[in-house]
Structure 1
């Protein structure tokens, strides 16, 4: 069984290709389909199937683009309500891929339309579990909440997940390989392992969800302490249910200009030192200076799907790679233009006197922008005000402005964004970024 796992680290996303007898299926593909085409070519295979385990919330899938390019059939649960051409892939349905049999099993809980794909070949069994079963955890049940009785919805899905874990895997062998759609760092669960795969036997022994417990104990555990839900998650679910636009035409039409300025909502992806030395006034500093930075997550957590924004980049040579990153979450639709700035009329950020801050902390208002779950584990500063970064644009107005403000997170990446947000929203007050000096206080 020729299986290839593809990883996109910033979103901790795994996608897959399976090849048998010159036929290939792609499972949960990311926005850029080129790597799947390359793999098919390298294996002299034809892409005949694209399978979606559910409509993903944290990234935009290329299933519709692959279908249009290759003619491959898209398979997903009929419960998904997809708007693109597809075939039902629910319990009782199967696909023959060379000498591999792919069968579907409905495994609701993360979403009502989640499926697990069971691949069998002779005595080998492989499970592609999507966001249902992770390594060390299961998918969160609170991403499909709509207006109305939100608590009832999450409890309903938590109960579905209990039924899935206790009944949908019982007939499968311990040596069945498990390939999930996400690993550690994803917001689709709370305690994911950094392992890329496992076996069902190992999960039965080590995954909390498989331990003997009552339904209520299971539901209490899964509902407690889930991470925040970024603004873009609902937008991406809707995009994936409709089928995203083709990638290249979507990013090619975005205007680009050099040495210019902009107004309105501005996202500056440059490193914090460069940003603080000179930036367009009112810019948000969401850094994308490393391949593994959480740029996509924080872009979609700070910028809302109804916003329109300008992206400031460091160099023309990086334009295409950064547009690809924006498009991972479908936000190229919100992007007005991409620019580089001139050296004139730029704002600067004041540098905090660390020695004075250590000596006179009460002379400052300290704002902790870590997530609520992090703050619950302990504060670095007793009098710090809690304003999680994903909510900061809405809650900034509640921060007192009678003292200079010092913003901190856990390591410095998020505080660069948080301090820049406060610089834009709060007037007539000095904003400082504690940055990586926060480590002196941990």
Structure 2
């Protein structure tokens, strides 16, 4: 038996190849079939099954793309009522992969239809050796149960039962392969460690130390992090069946003059994927700025309207393929093209440009001590703000500025700060789109502020 993990930064998603003797199955595939096909070829396996633990909320799954390429059947939870051709599984379902037995247990809680897959390697014995737990059990955490409006307490109770009555009945040596790691919004405080064992989690997972069910429900439904917008739509897309990647049009360059004409129609969004310093220097007016780094897919899925056509501004055309693939992972498929020569090409064509002023942490500190009329807008989460912040600053989480920007003065200088500068730049692009002009990005954010030894509470 062989298990290979595939981890995608940004959405912190883990998928797996489970191999037997000559065949393998892919668990919770991402929307990139090539990586699994190549891995199977390297191992000398034929892909004979595609297993889904649940309808993922944070990304578009690659089950249909992989099925199209390999013909392998898709196994999905019966209660998910998937609309694509699949083999439904539920409690007690069993099938084999060469010398491996795969048993299904229903583990609702993170989502109502969730299942987990238990693997027994028959050549080695009759005890379970691996669990593909999806988003029920993570390393150091458990799946959040609050993604379905009005059902958080019900699902938290179901999650408690799934964990204590089913998963924790497995032997301590059983290895656990979750669908996410640190950085996902599907849990609250996942470990950076990407695999674990039942015994390790039994001893060290904070959520599993809460033995009282009502206390568990309270803990899992209180002070949860905000959930991005695309979480409310990806599950249903995965249930219906995503569009095949082969059916989506190629993304090509568009001349600035044509881009100007398209923008004049009012039906397009400009997404500038450069770093905040480049965006601040020059950009196309009313652009969104989400840097093609770290949490790019999650942040893009959070705020970019999926029902509008998207024009990209990139640092280099060589980045286009990766950026487009990343956006499609969170359901942003209406990508019409990218601006040839980017913001520079736009400016060279004689078009109007915009910018966002950038200040250092020391400039901000000097301005505050000088008593200048300045508002410090902290766009981190409420939890981050509670940990430390600049005295007198105002906290509005950056995605909420889409509706809460009206609370800010339009005629007062606003210095926008986050952890490093990237989220502040997204916030500034939102404010710019809503007519705010007197804004600055604090470069380096709180990382620079703390390193500079400046005051905070």
Q: TM class by shorter-chain length?
A: over 0.9
Counterpart in 2 of 1:336? 336
Counterpart in 1 of 2:238? 240
Counterpart in 2 of 1:130? 134
1:231 aligns with 2:229: yes
Q: Structure 1 residue aligned with 2:378, among 354, 368, 373?
A: 368
Equivalent runs, 1:17-416 vs 2, <5 Å: 17-121=17-121, 122-123=124-125, 125-145=129-149, 150=150, 153-252=151-250, 254-260=251-257, 261-262=259-260, 263=263, 264-288=268-292, 290=293, 293-333=294-334, 335-339=335-339, 340-341=342-343, 342=345, 343-344=347-348, 345-352=352-359, 353-354=363-364, 356-360=366-370, 363-378=373-388, 380-416=389-425
Which SS does the other structure have where 1:351 is aligned? strand
Task: Say whether the 8 Å CA contact 2:168–2:202 is kept in structure 1.
Answer: no
| Residue 169 of structure 1, CA deviation | 2.2
Query: Normalized against structure 2, the TM-score is what?
Result: 0.90
Instruction: Report the more deviating stretch, 261-270 or 20-29.
Output: 261-270
| Residue 304 of structure 1, CA deviation | 3.2
| Residue 255 of structure 1, CA deviation | 4.5
Per-residue CA distance 1:249-274 (angstroms, 9 max, x = gap)? 4252x453144544243210011222
Which SS does the other structure have where 1:10 is aligned? coil
Return the alpha-carbon distance in structure 1 between the equivalents of residues 48 and 199 of structure 2: 32
1:433 aligns with 2:441: yes
Pair 1:401–1:360, CA change in 2 (3 A)? farther
Task: Say whether the 8 Å CA contact 2:130–2:175 is kept in structure 1.
Answer: yes
Task: Say whether the 8 Å CA contact 1:231–1:305 is kept in structure 2.
Answer: no
Query: Normalized against structure 1, the TM-score is what?
Result: 0.93
Instruction: Report the more deviating stretch, 126-135 or 395-404.
Output: 395-404
| Residue 204 of structure 1, CA deviation | 0.5
Return the alpha-carbon distance in structure 2 between the equivalents of residues 354 and 195 of structure 1: 38
Instruction: Report the more deviating stretch, 68-77 or 338-347.
Output: 338-347
Task: Say whether the 8 Å CA contact 2:301–2:331 is kept in structure 1.
Answer: no
Number of aligned residue pairs: give it: 429
| Residue 381 of structure 1, CA deviation | 2.2
Task: Say whether the 8 Å CA contact 1:231–1:303 is kept in structure 2.
Answer: no
